[in-house]
Chains A and B, each alone.
Chain A
Amino acid sequence: MENIILPNIPDLHKIDVYELHGGYKALRKALEMKPEEVTDEVKKSNLRGRGGACFPTGLKWTFMPKQTMKPKYLCVNGDESEPGTFKDRQIFEFNPHLLIEGTLIACYAMGIHTAYIYIRGEYGKWVKMMEKALADAYAKRYVGTQILGTGFSTEIVIHKGAGAYICGEESALMNSLEGERGYPRVKPPFPAQVGVWGCPTTINNVETISNVPHIINNGWEWYSKIGAPKHPGPILVGVSGHVNKPGVYEMPTGVPLLDIINKYAGGVIDGKSIKAVIPGGSSTPILRGDQLDGVCMDADSMKAAGSAVGTAGVIVMDEDTDLIQVLTRIAKFYYHESCGQCTPCREGTGWLWKIMKKFERSEARKEDIDLLLDIANNVEGNTICALGDAAAWPIQAMLRRFRDEFEKRVKPEIVRVETGAVA
C-alpha cells in the first residue's frame, strides 16, 4: 500500500503542493455533508486512536453533547513524549496541512469552533513549522470565519508545552492549556462533559486526526479494509534501538513485528539475535525475543501476546543488552515524570527506581524481587491517571518474562558457619 499519512511527495508541507495533490478536498466534501454524517463515516471506518489507548475515534466524537449552551473544544494532542515515540513529529514536518484539514473536519463534525493543537515544548522547531502552515491555511480561508464561503467557522490555535511528559495525559493537557500545572483530573466527569474551561472537550492524537481526511475522501468502507479489520488503517511505526535502519515507517496495521524489524527496519545490527522488544513505547510490556512469532501490530494481536500497541514505538534490543540497565532507566523516567499528586505513584516510582539501581549494581537482596512486584502492584490502578500503570507495567512484565535477569543480579549472601569453640 502506498503511504497516505506520510506520502513521498517533495515539499508537501507547502500549501500549494498540498492542494495540487488533492489537499483540502476532504474539507470541501465534509462541509457538504451533515455533521452527523461525518461522525458516522468516522465511526464506521473503525478508526481507533493512535495516542496509546486505541479508543474508537468515531464513538468518542458521539460523546460530545449536541445541545449545549457552552462552547465546545477540540484538543489535538501533540505532546509526544512517550520514550520510543517519534511519529507525530513527522506529520508536523512533512504533512502539516493533513493535520490542519483533519482538525477542521473534526471540528465541523462535532460543532466545535475552537481547536488547540498542543505541541511539546521541546519541539520548538516543529511548532514554528506548524505555525507557518497554519498561517498559510488562514490566508487561503480554510481556517477562520466562514470557511470556504460556508457558514462554518473555526479557529485553530497552536499551544506550546514546556517540558512535562504528564501533559500528554488528556486531563493534564487541559489543565496545562488553562495555564495550570499539568495535574491530571479525576474522572468522571469525562472531558466530553466537563473538559477544558469546564466545557465539552474532545482530545485526539495528532496521527488519529490525520487519518480523518482520507476517510472522508475515500469512504469508511475503503478505510476499514486496510490492515487488521478490528483496528484498521495505516499506522506510523517508529523503530529504534538495535536495528540497521531505525526510523518511522508507515504501514497497514497488522504487520508482523518480525517483518517490521527485519523487512522495514533492515534487521538487527550485525545479524545478532533479538533478546527483547518493547512494541509500543516505554509503558507497554516487554516481549521476549523468542516469543515474537505471529505477534502483529494491531490491538488484538498485541493483547493476546500480553502487550499493547501503545504508540507503536518499537524498541529492539539485541542479545547483548543489559535489560536491568534498560529497566532502571525506564523506572527513573517515571519517577522523574510523576506529577506528585497521588501518593502511590509519587512514592512508588521513587522506590521502584531505587530498588532497580540496587539490581543494576548487583547489590540487590533476593527479597527485592518480590518487593519490586509488590510495589508495582500497589501503584497500578491506585492513581488518578494512567501514569502509575505505565510505570508498573514494564516492571511487572520484565519480572514475568525475564526473572532470571533479576536473579543474576542478587548479591551472593555470605553464609557464616558456626565455628564452635576454637581450640
Chain B
Amino acid sequence: MLSQEKLQKIDELKKKYPTTKALVLPVLWMMQEELGHISTEAMKYVASLLSVPYSHIFGVVTFYTMYQSKPIGKHHVEVCTNISCLLRGSGKIVNHLEKRLGMKMGETSKDMKWTLSEVECMGSCGTAPMFCIGEEYHENLTTEKVDKILDGLK
C-alpha cells in the first residue's frame, strides 16, 4: 500500500529508534498522506509491516485525533473554538462557515469537498480567531477573509 520511496524511508527510520514499534506514529502519518485516511485495511497493513498486533494499531489510530479512520472531505476546515479564539470571535466564524457551507461542525459534505471540524487550541492564540485547512494556518480571521479563502479553494 505504500510506495517504494516510503518503504525506503521506513528502513531509514528504523535506524533512528531502538524498537520498530516506535515507528507506529510516523508510518501511520505516511499512510494518511498517501491514502487520505487510515482504513481497516491500512491498519492491518501497518500491523504486518511493523509486526505489531492489529489491535494495537487500532488503539493508536482511535486515540489520536489527527488520524482519520474514515474518508474526509478534500478540504478539512478545522476551527479552533478554545478560549483565546472564543474571546476573539470564533463563534462568528463557526456560524459563518456552517451557513455558507450548509453543514454543521463535524460533518462532511456529500460531494466530499468539505469536512468541518471543531478543534482545540492550535497554538495561534495571538492571531485568533483561526482555522487551518490541511497544514495551512489561516489567522486573524474575519467573515470576509473566510469567504476569500473558501472562494480560492477548488
A residues bordering B, Cβ < 8 Å? 71, 80-86, 88-89, 114, 120-125, 155, 157, 159-165, 176-182, 197, 238-242, 246-248, 278, 282, 313, 315, 317, 321, 325-326, 329-330, 333, 336-337, 339
Give the contacting residue for B64; candidates A82, A125, A164; CB below 8 A: A164
Q: Which residues from chain B contact A164 at a C-beta distance below 8 Å?
A: 63-65
| Contact, CB under 8 Å: B121 / A124 | no
Main SS class of interface, B? mixed
Report if A179-B52 is in contact (Cβ < 8 Å); known contacts: A71-B18, A326-B87, A329-B81: yes
Closest Cβ neighbor of A121 among chain B residues: B66
Give the contacting residue for A84; candidates B25, B83, B137; CB below 8 A: B83
Report if A82-B24 is in contact (Cβ < 8 Å); known contacts: A122-B132, A181-B63: no
| Contact, CB under 8 Å: B64 / A163 | yes
Q: Which of A162, A197, A339 has the most CB of B within 10 A?
A: A162
| Contact, CB under 8 Å: B84 / A240 | yes
* Interface membership of B72, Cβ < 8 A: no
Q: Which residues from chain B contact A163 at a C-beta distance below 8 Å?
A: 64-67
Give the contacting residue for A162; candidates B21, B64, B121, B132; CB below 8 A: B64
Closest Cβ neighbor of B124 among chain A residues: A86
Closest Cβ neighbor of A394 among chain B residues: B83
5 of the cross-chain contacts (CB-CB < 8 Å) are A81-B121, A122-B122, A163-B66, A179-B60, A329-B86
Report if A83-B82 is in contact (Cβ < 8 Å); known contacts: A179-B60, A240-B128: yes
| Contact, CB under 8 Å: A121 / B126 | no
| Contact, CB under 8 Å: A197 / B84 | no
Q: How many A-B residue pairs have CB under 8 A?
A: 138
| Contact, CB under 8 Å: A326 / B64 | no
| Contact, CB under 8 Å: B86 / A326 | yes
Report if A83-B84 is in contact (Cβ < 8 Å); known contacts: A180-B60, A246-B127, A336-B120: yes
Other contacts beyond A178-B22, A182-B63: 9, CB < 8 A: A80-B123, A86-B126, A122-B123, A162-B64, A179-B19, A180-B24, A180-B60, A246-B127, A315-B83
| Contact, CB under 8 Å: A159 / B25 | yes
Give the contacting residue for B88; candidates A83, A88, A177, A241; CB below 8 A: A241
Bound-complex Cα distance A164 to B154 (A): 30
Bound-complex Cα distance A112 to B22 (A): 19
| Contact, CB under 8 Å: B25 / A162 | yes
Q: Which residues from chain A contact B87 at a C-beta distance below 8 Å?
A: 240-242, 315, 317, 321, 326
* Interface membership of B146, Cβ < 8 A: no
* Interface membership of B148, Cβ < 8 A: no
Q: Which of B60, B64, B81 has the most CB of A within 10 A?
A: B64
Chain B nearest Cβ from A136, distance in angstroms: 18
| Contact, CB under 8 Å: A83 / B21 | no
Chain A nearest Cβ from B18, distance in angstroms: 5
Chain A nearest Cβ from B143, distance in angstroms: 19
Within 8 A of A (CB), among B1-55: 16-19, 21-26, 28-29, 50, 52
Q: Which residues from chain A contact B144 at a C-beta distance below 8 Å?
A: none
Closest Cβ neighbor of B123 among chain A residues: A86
Chain B nearest Cβ from A311, distance in angstroms: 11
Q: Which residues from chain A contact B67 at a C-beta distance below 8 Å?
A: 162-163
Give the contacting residue for B135; candidates A124, A333, A339; CB below 8 A: A124
Bound-complex Cα distance A155 to B16 (A): 8
| Contact, CB under 8 Å: A125 / B137 | yes
Q: Which residues from chain B contact A325 at a C-beta distance below 8 Å?
A: 86
* Interface membership of B125, Cβ < 8 A: yes
Bound-complex Cα distance A83 to B60 (A): 24
Bound-complex Cα distance A333 to B86 (A): 13
Chain B nearest Cβ from A83, distance in angstroms: 4
Report if A179-B64 is in contact (Cβ < 8 Å); known contacts: A246-B127, A315-B87: no
Q: Which of B63, B86, B119 has the most CB of A within 10 A?
A: B63
